Every structure is written in structure tokens, then in C-alpha cells.
Structure 1
Amino acid sequence: MLGILLTYASPLLRYDIVVRTLLHVLRWVYWPFDDLLKRVENSPGLPVPDPTSPYWTQPPSPIAQRNSSSEGKRLPEDADIVIIGSGITGTSFARTILDHGNGNDVHGKPLRIVMLEARDACSGATGRNGGHITPVLYQDYAMAQKIIRFRLSHLEQLLQVAEEEGLSSDSQCRRVEAFDVFHDKNLFRQAKSWLEEYQEDLPEESRNYRIYETAEELEPLQLSKSTVGCLSTTAGSVHPYRLVTGILGRLLNSYQANFDLFTHTPCTDVKTSDEDDLDQYIVETPRGAIRARHIVHATNGWVSHLLPGMRGKVFPARGVMTAQIPREEKSSEEPKEAMSTTNRASWTGTRSFVFYPSTSVGVYDYLTQQLPSGGSSRSSYPSPNGELMLGGGFAHGAVADIGNADDSEWSPAVGEYVRQALGSYFSVKRNGEKEGKDEVKATWSGILGISADERPWVGRIPVSITARGRQTASGEWIAAGYTGEGMVQAWMSGKALGHMVLGVELDSWLPEVFMVTEERWRSAGFESFVCRIR
């Protein structure tokens, strides 16, 4: 029967049938894969209480444990809006909705907003990622141009926000030259072809791209001899933890009567009211319950814990990051354009990288670098020291890490790979001297939210998905599922959600395909996600 189907089906359909059949067979014969599918299909649970410690959070923000003790400030009994999650999405939403009317809604009525965080403030993916404001563009050019522009808008938006909030120094938010570095000739050739098509249709957005492929062009970049070519463009880099906690600190100070944050206060359940008011929810926590008309789910990889209907639609995946101190500087006699990664007169803190060491764009590592010592003198935090922030190695632990929401540890194989990977990407030795090593200062894990159709989910959640059926119209909202691209999707998604809840016109800048619909929800699933990976 399968043979007959494959004979008459279209090539794409035949591919889907083969993949789905293989998935079912794998589930029966390979128990780790069956375990993976069970994780994807089930609740990710609450964030674990003892996560690994990211280098970004050293030292912690003054608001890291705000209202964390049950012996301190009591949880309010009522609120207009409860935001679950204190990362970049929840912060963008809170800033949008509070600043729009100086703490009031569109009718001039004061808003009461409560933000709940299961652990320290900004302790999820935002405080654990690579700090790149570098969207995937030409590789995914089959996507709509509107999505391209949406992703690109994040750099200017975050630069503007950092400036407005007085956080440019603390957050190190800045433009950098972003390099895609290829080790496979065929993949590099394909990338140049994608870029050419991208530049034909979007010349303004792609005008800053540059191609490096000759020995003379590549040598000053200090990349390894395995490098066959690079593409570069303007992108951004940021200290995500300090940006977000800085914004939250300002909001908490400016809107003391409207807004508060309760850390170490996990939301354990959302229920509908048993009373006559069909539009109220009961948000349950270990410290008491809050009645609210609107619930904003901004927990990304954990979002399906409180939204069972989203299981298999957005699921967690564990990644690994490191902070490494670059190897010692070379002699000052070395030509300036070929100085080591730590030379303060060269490119420290001005570049970021995505490395493609194999034949697929689905296998990559990513690197950004903090500013050199003294490069952020107006910051209230200790000066950075040019730390190299490297993440990746996902292919080395995918079976164990997909569906895994435990960031109290990391896969040993992935951790070891990331700790050693820099040696295969750069070469700064000269005159036959021994290659130095980059000192690993910290290793940690973080939880991504993977969308089954690879697009964020933004908007009002239909009652049919929440399964909290007493509501006449759902008051639950979501912005989640950034699939590893949160820094170029989350801020504007949170901003869009703020406009939606306020009832303010979006001016059509949010891609329609990000919106939550029942049709989209029915078609998204893990099997379809795997079928798109080719």
C-alpha cells in the first residue's frame, strides 16, 4: 500500500509520507526517540528551581529577586493584566502598555499589572542567549518579505530603546559586523546563490552585504584554514540581561501604583471564575491567587505548561552557552589587521559570527563578543573584558535536548564540544608558535521555545485552544515560539501584543502568519516540523 501511495503522490507529499513513516518506525525501535516524542507531547513543567548560572547574570540585577519572599509584599488579589514571564517578551509588552498612556488604558482608567516570574527576574532564555541581534535572512528567503523586514526592524528598535532608557552603556547595545563563516564549498556556493536572489528583490535591506572568498580577503579575519568563504552584513549585539532588567527597573520605579514584579512566584494554574463574571480568570500561585481579565503568556519554551492545547505546537529545546576569555595577545609587532582577538586596537566587540562547519545550514555555532575593558566606562556594572560568548553544538545532543526543559544541567557531549569549538574556528598563531587556548569562564544551559511551524505565535488565544470554555471571548494572549531567533522576534512581538490588548492599531507591521488561528493550530505539529527539515 505504501508503495502505491508513493507512486502516485507528488514529490513533496512522497517526502512527507516517507518522513512520517520513518518517525513512527523510529518510535518503536529506538527508545530515546520515543522518549523525545513523549517530552514534546507532554507538559514541560515549571522552570526548575536550581538552573545553571549564566555569565550574563554576574553580577545580578538589583531587581533579580524583587518580592521573592512570601514574608514580604503580599500578592494582590486583583489585576487587570497578569504577565507570566519576565524576559524580553513580557518586558516589551509591559513597556508598551504602560508607556502608551502613562499607566492608563485608552479610556484613561489606571491599569493594574502584575508580572510573575518562577525564578529570578529574566532567568529564562533572555538571560541565557548569545546576545545576537542578527536575523536569519537570505538562507530563509523563501519566507515572506514582511517577515524579513520584521526581523530587521529589531536592531533599530533595540538601539532606540536602549538610548531612550539610558541603557546604551549597561546593555552594550551596538551595531557590529556579522559574519556567516562557511567550511564547506558547496554550502558556501549555495549561500551566495541565496544572497544573490535576496539582493535582487530587497536591494535596500541587503545593501550592506560583503563576500569574502579570496585568500587576501580572508587572511586578516584570523579564521581557521578550514574557512572557504564568508558573508558579512551589519547586525547588532547586546547584553540581553542588563537591557531587560534595566527596563523593568525603570518601569517599576515609574509606575509604582500600576505595576509590580513578583519573582520566585510560579504560576501553577489558570482557571475560569466560578462566579457570574465570565471574563475573569483565576491565576494560581503558591503565594495565593490573582483575579484578572487578561493573561499574557510570555514564557516561550514553557508556554504549554499552562496551555495544554499548545503542546506539540511550541516545545522546549535545551541549548548550551559558554563565556570564554580570549587567548593572550600577540606581539605588538604583528600587523594591525591580523592582530589577535583580544587586541584592544583591533576588532574586539565589533564583530559577531555564525559558523557553518558542515554541509548544512541547520548545523551551526554562534559567537559574539563583549566590549574590551574600559569600553563601557559609563556603565553602573563592572567593565567587560572582551569575553567571547559562544553557543551551539545542538546537533551533538539533539535527541536528548529536544523537548527538554531542564536547564539545571547540559548534555555532556554538547558542553564539551562548545568548550573546544573556538580552536577550530580561529587561528591567531604565527611563526610556528604554539596555538593558545581561550579560558572558559562559565558554561550554562538555556531553554529555547521551538515552534512546530517555525513561526512565532502572537495574539489572542482562541477559547477552543485554551479549553477554558466559560469565556465568551478569550482574555488569554501569547507571544512565544521564537525557535532560537528570540532577539530578532520577541521585542516586536511583545510590542504587537501590547497594542492588541490596548486595542491600538498595529499598522500591519506584524506578519499575519504569526497570528494565532485555529486553522494554523490544527496543521502545526512535530511531524510537520521534522518534514520541513531537509
Structure 2
Amino acid sequence: MDERARIPVSLPRDNPTRSYWQDPPDAAVADLRTTETLPESADVVIVGSGITGAAVAWGLLQNGDQPGRSIVMLEARQACSGATGRNGGHTKAASYRTFAHHVSTLGSTAAAAQIARLELANIRAVHGFARSHGIDCDAVSCDTVDIIYDAAQWEAAVAAVAAMRAALGPDDPAAEYELVAGPDAVRARFHGHATTFRGRPDPVAGAVVYPAGSLSAYKFGVGVLRLCLARGLNLQTHTPSLALRREKGIDGVWLVETPRGTIAARRVVLATNGYTAHLVPRLQGVVVPLRGQVTAQRPGRALPAGGCLPTTYSFIYEGGYEYMVPRPAGSRFAGDIVMGGGLVRGAADEGLYEYGSTDDTALNPDVSAYLRDTTPRYFGPDWGEDDPAGRVRAEWTGIMGFTPDGFPLVGEIPHGGGDDDDGGGLWTASAFQGHGMVLCWMCARALVDMMEGRDANNELDSWFPRAFRITEERLAKRFQGRVSHNISGQDQGVPAE
């Protein structure tokens, strides 16, 4: 793993695989340059135009006491074309799967409960923002079901739900879970069948049901960008940030170098997730990229409601899981099944060689073959015959970011010293562990509060986890792979949402 973590992080690559969500790209925003030439300076430069960058821009633009503030957003490729435009769109916390690990790691039940509440708050905030601002992004609030194929995982799930109810209180919305025991009940309600993998039986042990949702993260991100543009954001697409350096002789000014010129700013925000170490070399091995893979499959002919199932899914087995989002009625390609993951069982060495990769221009053929087979395997006879047009409509890859301790990095990057000091006015919210749909909105909100001086007395501690803040101690940790989302407590890699 050390070798994979040391691979130099690159810029986003040209000609990435075509994401289902970006086909076609947004005609007005995808290739927008608000001004023909790159501004020479700005109050704030935001690098990255996904949900995090858009949320930071929105937060900064709400500050009415600085109406003349200039904000320039730089994007290496098309707008919202990174992880936001490539994930599965699953607004699902699955907090019970990490609760025990967080208690153990942080030494505090209260800290673990705070993370669970933040994840739920993030889901509600994203869906609420889409509703209140009229963003058409196919947003659906619904239940989700985790179908568990391993007896030890099931026992741990039951214990984790009990622990969360005890810690948060049975009426806390973040501890709202229903346990469905046994294969017959799971099959009757969710069409989940026992399966086999490489000749090994995967019997259904039970299921966990809880509130979640789904949306097109691409449409949501573009919708937020539109709101920001209306308030004065200057968006510059196809403008990669090549390097950061200090302005010589001018205290506190950063220079962001691009192929179209250099822009100066006193504050720079890196909303660059898995690519962050490209601009901040001291984060090499601290924010480690991981390539994930997703398919969009036409629904099997026997699936109820033409594939527009009422819940989203995860299929959990010893060592990992896949996640699944049915496209809702009324959306384009309604009934399509979006299935992601496949690293643990589909890729060589449980996905080892996907670490360190920023190559979203290609697919892993082994993962492709595995993901293509998941739907009829998990749904059995309830899948039926494939659509005459073929099972797979699209498949693509995207780049996530992971840290040694499994938490995102939020805050001002500490001073590193030297001529190109990488601290003081350099901020980030990044490395969302493949869990950005339930982390990045609230992390961006916290970052804006930090930048605007609304955390001078640690006011954020009432709702924002201290474990997410950047510290020198965290930056010194060694990356050993993804921190577990495995409720049995064993560290191992799992596909991301």
C-alpha cells in the first residue's frame, strides 16, 4: 500500500469515460467561461466545481456585508465533471456500519453520535436545498435496504443498531432502523435472493431498513452553480490549476498558475477531493486517490414497477458490498439500475491497484465483468430476462479521495514552511472517503464558517466533528488503505457510495 500511496497525484485527465449523468453535458454551464480572459486577481479562488466547490461558493456569496467580493472558480475539465458528476447519487448514511468503529477510534460515544447526526443532517440539507431552490435533479427521499449475506455481519448489524439506539435515544431520527430477519422476509419485501460467488454460498441473513434517498448529483451540482453564477461567481472551465505558490514580497497572497495565466488571491479553497495532493505536495500519501467504477443497467423484464423500485439498496457480504440506486419514475431512463462498487470481489487483490490511480479515462475489465453480473445474481428469478437492448446501458469510472484515518480534511492547511509555504489562506474540504453525498455539503458549510471567522471560539463544535478538522497529527499518519465501513470491526476496503 505504501507504494500505491506514493504514486504522484496528477491533474484530472483529458477525455474521461463518459458518465451516465453527464450524457449530455449541461449546455449552458458545462463549458462556461464567465469572462473571456482569466481575471488577474480575486478575493477568493475556488479550485474545483463539484458539490463542495459550489457549496463553498454559495456560502461565501451569502455574506451580505461584503457585496463586492470577487470569487473565481477554476475547473480543469467541464463543470461538475469530477466525482460529483460520476458517483451513484446515493444519499445514504449507513451510520450504523461505522458507529462502533468511530466510538473505538475517537474514544467517545458522543463523538460517534455527532458524526451520525451530521450525516443525516447532510442528507436533509441537500434534499431540502434542491426543493427550496427548485433544482430539478430527480431527487427522491425514500427508504434504503442493506441486504446482508454474512451471519457475522448480520449479528454485528443487530448489535450496532442497538448501540446507536442506546446512545442517541430510540426517538432520534439518526437511530431510525428496522431489522428484517431471515431470507423469506427479505425476499418477499425486497426481492433479494441467496446467491453464490465463485462457488461459495451467500445465504441471506437479514436486512436493515432506514431513511435515505437518491438524486442526480450532477444536476444538483450544476443547479447550485447556476445560483452562484446569478450572484456573481466567475466560473472558468477547462482551466486546470497547475501549481500554487506565494507571491514574492507580498504577504499572504497566493498565485494559482494555469495554462491561461496566473491569478492572485489571498484565499484559495481546494475543493479537489482525490486530486488535492497535486497542488499540495505535503498531502501526498495523506489524500490518496482511488478509482471507483459504476454501471447503469436496463432493468430485467421481471423486476416490479419496470425497475422503479421503492427503495435503494446495498448488498453486504464478508469483506465488502455493492450499492444500487433504481432510477425513479419520471426521470430519464426511469427504472435503470445504477450499480457501483465491485472492487473487493471484482478487482485483483481486492482493488489494491485502483489505489493511487487518477485514470478515469479507462475501465477495469474485471470490475466491469463483475458488476455486469451482479443484478441477476442478487435478484435471481425476480430479475428475469434482460432488456432486448442489452443489460448495460453505460459504465464509467471516477476518482475518490481517502485519508489514513478515514475522515475528511476540513479547514486551513497548516503552515509547511519554506518559500512556497502551504499554509495561511489555503483552505480545503476534501477526501470524503467515497461518502461525499452525505458529507460534503455540511463540510463545505463548516469550512465557510471557519473562513468567515464564525469559529473563533470553536462554535462549530456543537455540530461539526472535531475529527474532521485538519491537524498536524492527522497529516503525519501513514496510509494503510480505506478505514473500514465493516460493522464487524475489521479494517478492509469497501466500494463507495
Tell me which interval the TM-score lies in, with the shorter structure as reference length: 0.7 to 0.9
Q: 1:29-56: per-residue Cα shift (whole Å, max 9, x none)?
A: xxxxxxx633412421111111001101
Name 2:238's counterpart in structure 1.
264
- Distance verdict in 2 for CA 1:135–1:467, change over 3 Å: farther
Partner of 2:2: 37
Extract unaligned runs of 5+ from structure 2: 103-111, 195-202, 485-489, 493-497
Could you say which residue in structure 2 is the equivalent of 1:19?
none
- 1:47 equivalent to 2:9? Answer no
Displacement after TM superposition at 1:179 (Å): 0.6
CA shift, 1:198, in A, is 1.5
The residue that corresponds to 1:117 in the other structure is: 75
Q: CA deviation at 1:468?
A: 5.1
Match of 1:420 among 361, 373, 379: 373
Larger radius of gyration: 1
Partner of 2:314: 354
Cα-to-partner distance string for 1:283-318 (whole Å, 9 max, x where unaligned): 100000001000101110000000111111111000
CA distance in 1, matches of 2:370, 2:306: 26
The CA deviation string for residues 63-113 of structure 1, in whole angstroms up to 9 with x for no partner, is: 001129xxx700000101100000111011011110232xxxx4x351110
**How many Å separate the matches in 1 of 2:411 and 2:480?**
24
Question: Residues 211 and 229 of structure 1 are in contact (CA less than 8 Å); yes or no, is this contact kept in structure 2?
Answer: yes
Instruction: Decide whether aligned partners of structure 1 residues 85 and 38 sit closer, same or farther in structure 2, where only a CA change above 3 A counts.
Output: same
Give the Å deviation of 1:214: 3.7
1:56 equivalent to 2:21? Answer: yes
Alpha carbons of structure 1 residues 49 and 470: separation in structure 2 relative to 1, 3 Å: closer
| CA distance in 2 between partners of 1:447 and 1:131 (Å) | 15
Residue of structure 1 in register with 2:109 after alignment? none
Distance of 1:507 and 1:515 partners within structure 2: 11
Q: Equivalent residue for 1:459?
A: 411
Residue 377 (structure 2) pairs with residue 448 (structure 1):
no
- Could you say what secondary structure the match of 2:62 adopts? helix
Q: Secondary structure at the match of 1:526?
A: coil
Q: How does 1:199-278 map to 2 (within 5 A)?
A: 199-202=165-168, 203=170, 204-206=172-174, 208-218=176-186, 219-225=188-194, 226-252=203-229, 254-256=230-232, 259-275=233-249, 277-278=250-251
Retained in 2: the 8 A contact 1:296–1:476? yes
Q: Superposed, which structure 2 residues align to 1:132-531 within 5 Å?
A: 132-142=90-100, 143=102, 144-167=112-135, 170-202=136-168, 203=170, 204-206=172-174, 208-218=176-186, 219-225=188-194, 226-252=203-229, 254-256=230-232, 259-275=233-249, 277-328=250-301, 330=302, 340-343=303-306, 348=308, 350-356=310-316, 358-360=317-319, 363-372=320-329, 375=330, 383-395=332-344, 396-397=346-347, 398-429=351-382, 435-436=385-386, 439-464=391-416, 474-505=424-455, 506-508=459-461, 509-522=463-476, 524-527=477-480
Unaligned runs of 5+ in 1: 1-35, 331-339, 377-382
Q: Is the 8 A contact 1:178 1:351 kept in 2?
A: yes
Structure 2: which amino acid aligns with 1:37? D
Output the CA distance in 2 between the equivalents of 1:498 and 1:349. Answer: 38
What's the offset of the Cα at 1:525?
Answer: 1.4
| Structure 1 partner of 2:106 | none
* CA spacing shift, 1:359–1:298, aligned 2, 3 Å: same
Shift of 1:184: 1.6
3-state secondary structure, aligned to 1:520: helix
Pairwise CA distance, 1:427: 2.8
- State the SS of the aligned residue for 1:53: coil
Q: SS of the residue aligned with 1:175?
A: strand
C-alpha contact 2:53 2:271 (8 A) present in aligned 1: yes
What is the SS of the residue equivalent to 1:415?
helix
SS at match of 2:392: strand
For the aligned residue pairs, the C-alpha RMSD in angstroms reads 2.2
Letter of the 1:475 counterpart = G
1:349 Cα deviation (Å)?
5.0
* Contact 1:278 1:470 survives alignment (8 Å): no
Counterpart-to-counterpart distance in 2, 1:391 and 1:341? 21
The secondary structure found in structure 2 opposite 1:504 is coil
1:99 aligned to which of 52, 55, 62? 62
Q: Which amino acid aligns with 2:434?
A: G
Secondary structure (helix, strand or coil) at the match of 1:427 reads helix
Question: Residues 245 and 421 of structure 2 are in contact (CA less than 8 Å); yes or no, is this contact kept in structure 1?
Answer: no
Does the CA-based 8 Å contact 1:175-1:350 persist in structure 2?
no
Q: TM-score, normalised by structure 2?
A: 0.87
Counterpart in 2 of 1:13? none
Residue identity matched to 2:44: I
Amino acid at match of 2:238: H
Q: In 1, Cα distance between the equivalents of 2:453 and 2:400?
A: 30
Report the Cα distance in structure 1 between the residues aligned to 2:391 and 2:45, rounded to whole angstroms: 42
Find the counterpart in structure 1 of residue 40 from structure 2: 77
Helix, strand or coil for the counterpart of 2:212?
A: strand
**Aligned equivalents of 1:48 and 1:215: distance in 2?**
45
Does the CA-based 8 Å contact 2:116-2:174 persist in structure 1? no
Kindly indicate whether the alpha-carbon contact (under 8 Å) linking 1:326 and 1:341 is maintained by their aligned counterparts in 2. Answer: no
- Of the structure 1 ranges 477-486 and 498-507, higher mean CA displacement relative to structure 2 is found in 498-507
* Residue aligned with 2:380, SS: coil
Q: 1:228 to 1:528 in 2, by over 3 A?
A: closer
Q: Give the whole-Å Cα distance in 2 for the aligned partners of 1:162 and 1:109.
A: 25
Note if contact 2:324-2:339 (Cα within 8 Å) is conserved in structure 1: yes
Structure 2 CA distance for aligned equivalents of residues 436 and 45 of structure 1: 39
TM-score (norm 1): 0.81
